Chain A
């Protein structure tokens, strides 16, 4: 039986990370959390998370960057906003999940074939290029990158969609793609590294 040492020393806290979280939109009243746990109680996904939303907030404000960015929690968030509505301190928990997702993608901290960050990245790429997303192509792209088996098991669903006329096969795009590209390019990136 291998024992794991679970103690945390002050060096394990990244205070800069904690300050960064508080400085982002959505993180401004993070420090006011009283750890009541209603966010975790109302979150329909919390039972699957390694760190519940409440615990993640605690880790984030102390600066346990590795635990926070490497957690499943931020990827399992479905953005249903139930936590934000119930929070007695009106903390923007969903927005905090978004900002942590962005930081994790930026730093490349997620399991390589983990579908959700890959989905986000591919989605963004498709939108940037076409202005619209073709669901079929996106899903195919996603599964081919992450999980061949899953892809094969989805054929049933795919056939159903084709049968009912709900599958869009031709790629869709906006007319003024250059206009969109100009708009998105005009934003100075506040990221430290570009999305790979």
Chain B
């Protein structure tokens, strides 16, 4: 099973642990991953605020490059996942837009046909690899670990292709396959604040704080997430939250890190030490 890997700008920077753990896990379950050649930034929410057509062309360049290799793309970052999928939808439904973007890509020597699929790593693990195979590969099930599975918004909204839009369960199932317990909680898909935590903290900080508070209240030991911006918002601002609201001290990990540990990989190759709030104790104490 071969795939192209689209890291996006954050997985090379603040989301480095996600890249490390994703690539390690992919190798351990037998996926062949190759980074998309000369990928460019997907544009995230920012570019769409400036220019609509150029935004689609920017994302479209990645899709056109992937089409040359005719392989599906895995985009772990929620924002990249959404932007690339939205581009596919928009270019399919809007003829005028498609005309403009295809013309522009041609000017750069690229062809776009809309043939590759953009997948989420969760989708690939559950549907292409399968829970049975993963369960068979688990060497060190993480018993006694209670997690709050946090999906964020852009993986399930507006397109929910492989999981339920209001009550997603794929990550819960995967974590259970890794031996952990996922606590039921109502804020699975509530927005963490996105880029507002940095730009308008009066609003954004509270959104992230609410999630940590509720997860803690439900008895979880950590939040497990699948988006680098969510992880950053929940992990990186806990000192500011302590000043404004209350002390939180709650680790936030990636699902690939949890799965990686269960598969017997080492903490350092999964980037566990990169958590600003140390996560090692909660995760290792569970073994």
A and B touch in the complex (CB under 8 A): yes
Expressed in whole angstroms, the Cα–Cα distance for A167 and B236 within the complex equals 12
Bits for B196-236, please: 1 = Cβ < 8 Å to A, else 0. Answer: 10111011100100000000000000000000000000001
Expressed in whole angstroms, the Cα–Cα distance for A48 and B200 within the complex equals 11
Which B residues are in CB contact (< 8 Å) with A175? 38
Which stretch of B44-52, B244-252, B258-266 is in the interface?
Answer: B44-52
Do residues A183 and B194 form an inter-chain contact, with CB atoms below 8 A? no
**Is residue B13 contacting chain A, with contact meaning CB distance below 8 A?**
yes
Task: Give the contacts of B37-91 with A (CB-CB under 8 A).
Answer: 38-41, 43-54, 57-58, 61, 90
Q: A45-B203, A174-B39, A175-B38 are in contact. Are A165 and B158 (CB under 8 A)?
A: no
**Is residue A193 contacting chain B, with contact meaning CB distance below 8 A?**
no
Expressed in whole angstroms, the Cα–Cα distance for A82 and B45 within the complex equals 15
Bits for B105-116, please: 1 = Cβ < 8 Å to A, else 0. Answer: 111111000000
Do residues B45 and A81 form an inter-chain contact, with CB atoms below 8 A? no
Do residues B51 and A115 form an inter-chain contact, with CB atoms below 8 A? no
Which A residues are in CB contact (< 8 Å) with B127? none
Task: Give the contacts of A137-171 with B (CB-CB under 8 A).
Answer: 139, 142, 154, 156-157, 160-161, 164-168
Do residues A165 and B41 form an inter-chain contact, with CB atoms below 8 A? no
Do residues A184 and B57 form an inter-chain contact, with CB atoms below 8 A? yes
Which A residues are in CB contact (< 8 Å) with B104? 183-184, 186-187
The bracket for how many chain B residues form the interface is 35 or more
Q: Shortest beta-carbon distance, B1 to chain A, in Å?
A: 27
Q: Shortest beta-carbon distance, B249 to chain A, in Å?
A: 14
Which A residues are in CB contact (< 8 Å) with B207? 44-45, 78
Do residues A187 and B57 form an inter-chain contact, with CB atoms below 8 A? yes
**Is residue B28 contacting chain A, with contact meaning CB distance below 8 A?**
no
Q: Shortest beta-carbon distance, B276 to chain A, in Å?
A: 5
Do residues A79 and B14 form an inter-chain contact, with CB atoms below 8 A? no
Closest residue of chain A to B46, judged by CB?
A: A123
**Is residue B143 contacting chain A, with contact meaning CB distance below 8 A?**
no
The bracket for how many chain A residues form the interface is 35 or more
**Is residue B9 contacting chain A, with contact meaning CB distance below 8 A?**
yes
Do residues A161 and B107 form an inter-chain contact, with CB atoms below 8 A? no
**Is residue B287 contacting chain A, with contact meaning CB distance below 8 A?**
no
Which A residues are in CB contact (< 8 Å) with B110? 179, 183
Q: Shortest beta-carbon distance, B135 to chain A, in Å?
A: 31
Q: A115-B200, A123-B47, A186-B108 are in contact. Are A166 and B154 (CB under 8 A)?
A: no
Expressed in whole angstroms, the Cα–Cα distance for A84 and B158 within the complex equals 7
**Is residue A25 contacting chain B, with contact meaning CB distance below 8 A?**
yes
Do residues A142 and B199 form an inter-chain contact, with CB atoms below 8 A? yes
Which A residues are in CB contact (< 8 Å) with B13? 134-136, 166-168
Do residues A127 and B203 form an inter-chain contact, with CB atoms below 8 A? no
Do residues A25 and B158 form an inter-chain contact, with CB atoms below 8 A? no
**Is residue B139 contacting chain A, with contact meaning CB distance below 8 A?**
no
Q: A45-B196, A78-B193, A133-B9 are in contact. Are A121 and B50 (CB under 8 A)?
A: yes
Do residues B50 and A78 form an inter-chain contact, with CB atoms below 8 A? no
Do residues A80 and B57 form an inter-chain contact, with CB atoms below 8 A? no
Expressed in whole angstroms, the Cα–Cα distance for A165 and B50 within the complex equals 31
Which stretch of A4-12, A33-41, A59-67, A99-107 is in the interface?
Answer: A99-107
Bits for B1-38, please: 1 = Cβ < 8 Å to A, else 0. Answer: 00000000110111111000000000000000000001
Which B residues are in CB contact (< 8 Å) with A195? 50-51
Give me 15 A-to-B residue pairs in the complex whose CB atoms sit less than 8 angstroms apart, sorted by A's number.
A25-B94, A78-B45, A78-B191, A80-B153, A120-B46, A124-B47, A127-B40, A134-B9, A136-B13, A164-B274, A174-B39, A183-B61, A184-B54, A186-B106, A186-B108
- List 7 extra interface pairs beyond A116-B195, A184-B57, CB under 8 A: A25-B52, A25-B97, A45-B191, A79-B45, A131-B41, A133-B41, A189-B51
Q: Which residues of A contact B (CB under 8 A)?
A: 25, 44-45, 48, 75-76, 78-82, 84-85, 94, 98-99, 101-102, 105, 115-117, 119-121, 123-124, 127, 131-136, 139, 142, 154, 156-157, 160-161, 164-168, 172, 174-176, 179-180, 182-191, 195
- Top 7 nearest A-B pairs (CB, nearest first) are A80-B191, A186-B107, A81-B157, A123-B46, A183-B108, A80-B153, A168-B13
